[in-house]
Chains A and B, each alone.
Chain A
Amino acid sequence: MILSNSPALAPLSLLLAAIVIPMVAFRRRWLAFPIALCASAFATGISVVNLVRVLSEGVIHYHFGGWIPPIGIEYVLDPLSAFVTLVVNAVSLLVLVHAHRSVAAELPDRSMPYYAVVMLMLTGFNGIILTGDFFNLYVFLEISSLALYGMIAVGNKKSPVAAFRYLIMGTVGGSFYLLGVGFVYMTTGSLNMADIAKIAPTLYHQPALVAALGLMVVGLGIKMAIFPLHGWLPDAYTYAPSASSALIAPVGAKVGVYAIIRVIFYVFGVDFVRHSLPLTDILAWLGAIAIVYGSVLAIAQKEMKRMLAYSSVAQIGYIGLGIGLANPYGIIGAVLHVMNHALMKACLFLVAGNFRLKLGHSTIPRLDHRVRKRMPWTTAAFTVGALSMVGVPPTVGFFSKWYLALGTIQNGRWLFLAALLVSSLLNAVYFFRVLEKVYMKPLEGDVPDDGDTALAEAPGSMLIPTLVLGIALLLLGLFNAVIVTGIITRIVPPGM
Chain B
Amino acid sequence: MRTHRPNPIVSLVSRVVSPFIMMFALYVIFHGHYSPGGGFQGGTLIAAALILIRLAEGNETAQLQFPRAWATPLGSLGVLIYFGTGLAAVFMGGRFLDYSVLHLAHHATMSRSYGILLVEIGVGLAVTAILVSIFDNLLEGKPDA
Contacts and interface: CB of A to CB of B under 8 A. Distances in A.
Direct contact of A and B (CB under 8 A): yes
Interface of A: 1, 4-5, 8, 12, 15-16, 19-20, 22-23, 26, 62-66, 110, 113-114, 116-117, 150, 153-154
B98 A65 contact: yes
A113 B144 CA distance: 8
A62 B89 CA distance: 14
A65 B97 contact: yes
Nearest to A110: B145
Given A1-B93, A114-B145, 7 more contacts: A8-B96, A12-B86, A23-B76, A64-B95, A64-B98, A65-B97, A154-B145
A33 B95 CA distance: 29
Nearest to A115: B145
B100 interface: yes
Nearest to B98: A66
A117 B145 CA distance: 8
A79 B62 CA distance: 54
Most B CB within 10 A of own CB, among A19, A117, A150: A19
A196 to B, nearest CB: 23
6 contacts: A16-B83, A19-B80, A63-B95, A65-B95, A150-B143, A153-B143
Contacts of A153: 143
Contacts of A5: 90, 95-96
Given A1-B93, A5-B90, A114-B145, A20 B99 contact: no
A467 to B, nearest CB: 30
Contact of B83 (A15, A64, A66, A117): A15
A26 B73 contact: yes
Nearest to A114: B145
A12 B79 CA distance: 12
A8 B144 CA distance: 29
Contact of A66 (B73, B79, B95): B95
Contact of B96 (A20, A64, A113, A114): A64
A23 B77 contact: yes
Contacts of A110: 145
Given A63-B95, A66-B100, A19 B73 contact: no
A214 to B, nearest CB: 32
A180 to B, nearest CB: 24
B87 interface: yes
Most A CB within 10 A of own CB, among B76, B80, B91: B76
A496 to B, nearest CB: 34
B91 A1 contact: yes
A22 B71 CA distance: 10
B94 interface: yes
B61 interface: no
A67 to B, nearest CB: 8
A308 B89 CA distance: 45
B95 A62 contact: yes
A4 B145 CA distance: 36
Nearest to A107: B145
Contacts of B77: 23
A154 B144 CA distance: 10
A111 B87 CA distance: 27
A278 B73 CA distance: 51
B95 A22 contact: no
Nearest to B90: A5
Contacts of B91: 1
A12 B93 CA distance: 16
Enumerate the 10 nearest inter-chain pairs by beta-carbon distance, A residue then B residue, closest first.
A113-B145, A65-B97, A66-B98, A23-B76, A22-B76, A19-B79, A22-B72, A65-B98, A66-B95, A19-B76
Most B CB within 10 A of own CB, among A66, A113, A114: A66
Nearest to A65: B97
Nearest to A111: B145
Contacts of A63: 95
Contacts of B86: 12
A20 B72 contact: no
B80 A23 contact: yes
B95 A1 contact: no
B5 to A, nearest CB: 33
A147 to B, nearest CB: 10
A110 B79 CA distance: 22
A321 B3 CA distance: 59
B123 to A, nearest CB: 13
Contacts of B98: 64-66
A66 B98 CA distance: 6
A23 B80 CA distance: 10
Nearest to B143: A153
A63 B97 CA distance: 10
Nearest to A12: B96
Interface in B77-113: 77, 79-80, 83, 86-87, 89-91, 93-100
A470 B45 CA distance: 53
Contacts of A22: 72-73, 75-76
A266 B98 CA distance: 28
